[in-house]
């Protein structure tokens, strides 16, 4: 078996959750890598949508931002941002939203706005963009991020994108009819919300990771499913696809000289 990194395992485990007939609203960064690995392996017909209005995009390299020309150049069509949000997203036409977070709590609530008090933050982050609407309007939400006590926290500093709120039936109480976060993939484990409490629960641990590692890098008390499995390691095809994609991206965006 080929050696792999924890980040590669996270990306590939997230990619596996996507299906060939999914319509997916893709976030930049780790979500984009996972979605495109899925498209290049087991889900060639997946429809990838980016916030800038590109529909059915098939980038050869990972985009730097939603405004990257690669997205428009390889899309089936590009619509205006108002149409994207009002007709496609808020119209209930997108099955999965794939997001990441600066801070995440046990109920899948996301902060990408500030670290610390809003008026005098320690760090001011990029903000929500379209993520708040994605979190409430897509059929369900997948989240991916690397584990660390500063990112997986007991209480987020700012509610940018609503997950399951206080847990339980909070989404329903607010009139939200979509499922909210149904999957969290980190560099150590796969988590799913408890059916009743909606608290993220570990269902599988990646090869080489341990419960102790999961607990030491999480800011809340970790819960486990009754039967915790080991995440299947990446196949040669999955690793080759991801690494080729990253190599093309580095060459395109890293200023590599011709012939190198």
Which of 255, 257, 204, 210 shows the shortest CA–CA distance to 227?
204
Positive or negative: CA dihedral 86, 92, 96, 101:
positive
Q: Is 88 in a helix, a strand, or coil?
A: helix
Q: Are strands 189-193 and 200-205 parallel, antiparallel or unpaired?
A: antiparallel
What the block records as the tokens of 3 is 């050696």
The pair phi, psi for residue 189, each rounded to 5°, is -160, 170
The pair phi, psi for residue 164, each rounded to 5°, is -110, 15
- C-alpha span between 130 and 227 (Å, rounded): 36
Instruction: List the catalytic residues.
Output: 51
Alpha helices in 190-235 (DSSP H): 211-216
């Amino acid at each position: 078996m080929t050696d792999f990194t924890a980040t590669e395992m996270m990306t590939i485990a997230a990619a596996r959750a996507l299906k060939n007939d999914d319509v997916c609203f893709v976030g930049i960064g780790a979500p984009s890598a996972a979605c495109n690995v899925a498209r290049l392996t087991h889900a060639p017909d997946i429809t990838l949508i980016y916030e800038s209005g590109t529909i059915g995009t098939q980038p050869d390299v990972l985009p730097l931002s939603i405004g990257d020309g690669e997205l428009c150049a390889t899309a089936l069509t590009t619509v205006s941002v108002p149409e994207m949000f009002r007709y496609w997203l808020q119209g209930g036409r997108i099955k999965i939203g794939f997001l990441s977070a600066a801070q995440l709590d046990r109920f899948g609530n996301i902060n990408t706005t500030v670290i610390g008090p809003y008026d005098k933050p320690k760090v001011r982050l990029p903000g929500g963009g379209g993520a708040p609407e994605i979190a409430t309007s897509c059929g369900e939400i997948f989240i991916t991020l690397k584990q660390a006590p500063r990112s997986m926290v007991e209480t987020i500093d700012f509610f940018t994108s609503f997950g399951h709120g206080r847990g339980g039936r909070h989404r329903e109480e607010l009139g939200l009819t979509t499922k909210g976060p149904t999957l969290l993939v980190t560099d150590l484990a796969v988590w799913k919300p408890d059916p009743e409490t909606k608290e993220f629960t570990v269902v599988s641990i990646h090869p080489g990771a341990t419960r102790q590692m999961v607990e030491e890098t999480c800011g809340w008390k970790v819960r486990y499913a009754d039967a915790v499995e080991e995440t299947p390691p990446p196949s040669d095809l999955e690793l080759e696809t991801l690494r080729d994609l990253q190599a093309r991206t580095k060459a395109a965006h890293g200023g590599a000289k011709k012939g190198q």
